A and B are shown apart, each in its own frame.
Chain A
Amino acid sequence: DTAVSQTPKYLVTQMGNDKSIKCEQNLGHDTMYWYKQDSKKFLKIMFSYNNKELIINETVPNRFSPKSPDKAHLNLHINSLELGDSAVYFCASSQDAPLAGVGEQYFGPGTRLTVT
C-alpha cells in the first residue's frame, strides 16, 4: 500500500556511467516531482510534471533527463555521472485542484546515489 515508491533505494556507481531512478505513485495524483537532497540535507526541486507535461525545470545540468510515461510514473535518467551528483533523490506527488490550488506533496523514501 506504498503511496510513492522509488527504485532502487541505493545506487552506487562510477563516474561517467549512466543510471536511472524510477518512481511510481498509486495515489491517483496528476503532478509528480523530483527533488535533490545534498549532504547538508538541503532539499531543492529539480523537475515537476503535470499530466505527463514538464511544468518545472530548475537549473539542472542537461545530463539529467526526466521522463513521464504516464501520470503514475516519473523516471529520472542521469548521463555521465559526476562525483557532485552524489545525493539523495526524492520523488514526490500531489493532486492539483483548479480552485483550491496545489495539494499536499507526498514524498517517496528516496534513492541514495553514490558516485565513486
Chain B
Amino acid sequence: QQQVKQSPQSLIVQKGGIPIINCAYENTAFDYFPWYQQFPGKGPALLIAIRPDVSEKKEGRFTISFNKSAKQFSLHIMDSQPGDSATYFCAARKGGTASKLTFGTGTRLQVTL
C-alpha cells in the first residue's frame, strides 16, 4: 500500500524551465511534508518542507504548494539548472515520537542545456 503517491517517475526539462513534481497522500494524520534531493551515490538531503497550516512555502528557487483539502502537494523548481538534475522524493510524516518518514517513489529529473 503506497501511502504517498508521486508523479511523474521521470522528467526532462530544458535549462530555465519549471519542472513540477506532484505528490498525493491518504493519511490525514500526516503533519509534515518534506522534499528530499538525492544525487547519484549520495544520501537524500532535505530540500524544503511544509506543514499543512500553510499553502505555499518558498526557499530560493524551490517552492512547495500544498492543498490540504485535496491531500496533494507539489514541488516547483524555478529557473531550473543542469545542477538540479537529481532524484527528488516527497515524503510525509505523522506527528508523535515514533517518527517515520513515508517516502514517495521518487522522480528522476534531468535538466538539459
Contact = CB atoms under 8 A, between A and B. Distances in A.
Interface of A: 4, 31, 40-45, 48, 50, 55-56, 90, 92, 94, 96, 101-102, 104-110
Interface of B: 31-32, 34, 36, 38, 41-46, 49, 87, 89, 93, 95-103, 105-106, 108
28 contacts: A40-B105, A41-B38, A41-B105, A41-B106, A41-B108, A42-B103, A42-B105, A43-B89, A43-B106, A45-B100, A45-B102, A48-B98, A48-B99, A48-B100, A56-B98, A90-B43, A96-B99, A101-B32, A102-B93, A102-B99, A104-B34, A104-B46, A106-B46, A107-B43, A107-B45, A109-B42, A109-B43, A110-B41
A105 to B, nearest CB: 6
Contacts of A43: 44, 89, 103, 106
Given A41-B87, A42-B105, A110 B42 contact: yes
Given A43-B89, A107-B43, A102 B34 contact: no
A102 B43 contact: no
Contacts of A50: 97
Interface centre among B41, B44, B45, B105 (most CB of A within 10 A): B44
A7 B93 CA distance: 28
B43 A44 contact: no
A66 to B, nearest CB: 15
A15 B97 CA distance: 37
Given A43-B44, A108-B43, A110-B42, A55 B101 contact: no
A43 B102 CA distance: 8
A30 B92 CA distance: 21
B46 A105 contact: yes
Per CB-CB distance, the 3 closest pairs between chain A and chain B, nearest first, are A107-B43, A102-B99, A43-B103
A7 B12 CA distance: 34
A60 to B, nearest CB: 13
Contacts of B38: 41
A21 B81 CA distance: 36
